[in-house]
C-alpha cells in the first residue's frame, strides 16, 4: 500500500492531480493482475508526460523528477504484489513519505528507506549508480544539451545498464494474459 500512498502524496506535492488516480490503478490490479499492469502502463506514461522535468542540474527539477520516479516504482511494486495488506516494514517509510507534504526531501528518504528494507540484489542498483556516475562525469557536456537531450542520454544509459544487469541473471519466462 506504500505505492498508493506515495502516488497520492506526490500528486499533491507536485500539483499534478492525475497522479492521484494511483489507487484506481491498484484497484484494477486487485481485480486482475494483467489489467492492473496495463492500467499502470497507461498511468505512468500519462503522469510522466504531465510532470516535465527541466535541467537535472537544477535542484527543484531534479526533486520533481525523483518524486515521480519513486512514486511510480513504489506503485508498480504494489500492483505486482496485488494485496491490500499493510505490512509492518512499510510503517516508517510511509511516515517519511507522508512528511513529504511538508518537506519533499522526506518523501525521497522514505522511498530510499523502503527500497533498502527490501534488501534488493546489488544488480538492481546498477542502473541507478550508473546514471549518478554519468551525471557527475558528464556535467559539462550534458548542461549544454538542455532538458530533452539530457533525458535521451540518461534514458539510453539507464536502459543499457538495465539490459546488462538482466543479462547477468537467469530470467524466468512468464506468460501474460493466460
Question: Cell 507536485, residue?
Answer: 14
pLDDT in tens, 17-66: 888 888 999 999 998 888 888 998 898 888 877 766 666 677 777 788 88
DSSP character string of 72-112: HHHHHHHHHH---PPPGGGHHHHHHHHHTTT-HHHHHHHHH
Grid cell listed for 161: 545498464
pLDDT on residue 52: 63
Give the per-residue pLDDT at 24.
Answer: 92
For 121: left if phi > 0, alpha if psi spans -120 to 50, otherwise beta; the answer is: beta
- Say what the pLDDT of residue 95 is: 92
What is the C-alpha separation between 130 and 141, in angstroms, rounded?
17
pLDDT at 165: 60
* The pLDDT of residue 174: 57
Sign of CA dihedral 96, 97, 98, 103: positive
| % of residues, the chain, pLDDT over 90 | 6
Distances (CA, A) of 146 to 56, 97, 151, 156, 159: 9, 30, 9, 16, 20
Residues with Cβ < 8 Å from 134, sequence gap 6 or more? 153, 154, 157
Phi, psi of 65 (to 5 degrees): -65, -40
108-125 pLDDT per residue, tens: 889 888 888 877 776 667
**Domains in the chain: boundaries:** 2-119, 121-178
Residue pair 43/28 in contact by the 8 Å Cβ criterion: no
Residue 171: predicted pLDDT: 53
| Helix (H) / strand (E) containing 136 | helix 126-137
pLDDT tens digits, residue range 132-150? 787 777 777 767 776 667 6
Amino acid at each position: 500500500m506504500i505505492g498508493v500512498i506515495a502516488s497520492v502524496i506526490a500528486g499533491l506535492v507536485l500539483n499534478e492531480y492525475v497522479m492521484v488516480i494511483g489507487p484506481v490503478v491498484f484497484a484494477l490490479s486487485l481485480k486482475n493482475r494483467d489489467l492492473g499492469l496495463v492500467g499502470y502502463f497507461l498511468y505512468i506514461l500519462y503522469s510522466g508526460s504531465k510532470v516535465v522535468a527541466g535541467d537535472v542540474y537544477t535542484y527543484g527539477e531534479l526533486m520533481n523528477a525523483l518524486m515521480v520516479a519513486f512514486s511510480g516504482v513504489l506503485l508498480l511494486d504494489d500492483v505486482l504484489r496485488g494485496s491490500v495488506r499493510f505490512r509492518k516494514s512499510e510503517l516508517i517509510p510511509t511516515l517519511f513519505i507522508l512528511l513529504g507534504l511538508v518537506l519533499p526531501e522526506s518523501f525521497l528518504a522514505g522511498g530510499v528507506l523502503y527500497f533498502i528494507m527490501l534488501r534488493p540484489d546489488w544488480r538492481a542498483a546498477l542502473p541507478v549508480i550508473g546514471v549518478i556516475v554519468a551525471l557527475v562525469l558528464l556535467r559539462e557536456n550534458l548542461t549544454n544539451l538542455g532538458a530533452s537531450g539530457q533525458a535521451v542520454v540518461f534514458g539510453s544509459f539507464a536502459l543499457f545498464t538495465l539490459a546488462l544487469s538482466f543479462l547477468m541473471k537467469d530470467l524466468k519466462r512468464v506468460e501474460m494474459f493466460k
